[in-house]
Amino acid sequence: MQHQLRLARPVSDLSRTQVMYVHGLRMQVLGSFQNHEGFDGVMLGVADGTYHFEFTQCRSHPVSPAPTQEDLIVFYIPGTLEWQSSCADMENAGFKSVASFNPYWDTNGRTYEDQDGYRIVLQNADWRSDVVGVT
């Protein structure tokens, strides 16, 4: 059985967030909605992917984003050239490169922050290398 994952987050500027994530993470718009019970939103991901982001704004009661420095989404990119290209895409899309709160992520990766403080780590490794031997 293959599971699907949706990461839902409130944002301060839906249009800006959409542009940043489409360009920075090479995502596409999978769907969107306007004034659905007071919410506007967009779903971003990759075709046939097993995950996607949902970013929302509430029209009547804005919800302020409240991420922490350890609220991370990690993308594993094992190829060095692809990882370097992905890092450049993030910076060109307006993500800010920041030092990770946990220095582990700075060893083989880079941490980026969007305008709301949500953090994305681009890890230059295979994901299995981070779970082997971890208990």
CATH class name, domain 72-131: alpha beta
Which CATH architecture group holds 5-58?
A: Roll (3.10)
For the stretch 57-70, pLDDT in tens is 999 888 889 999 99
Predicted pLDDT at 133? 55
Domain boundaries, the chain: 5-58, 72-131
For the stretch 4-30, pLDDT in tens is 899 999 999 999 999 999 999 999 999
CB 90 within 8 A of CB 25: yes
The answer to whether 5-58 and 72-131 have equal CATH topology is yes
Whether the predicted model's global pTM rises above the 0.85 cut: yes
For the stretch 78-127, pLDDT in tens is 999 999 999 999 999 999 999 999 999 999 999 999 999 999 999 999 98
Residues 6+ apart with CB under 8 A from 59: 35, 38, 39, 40
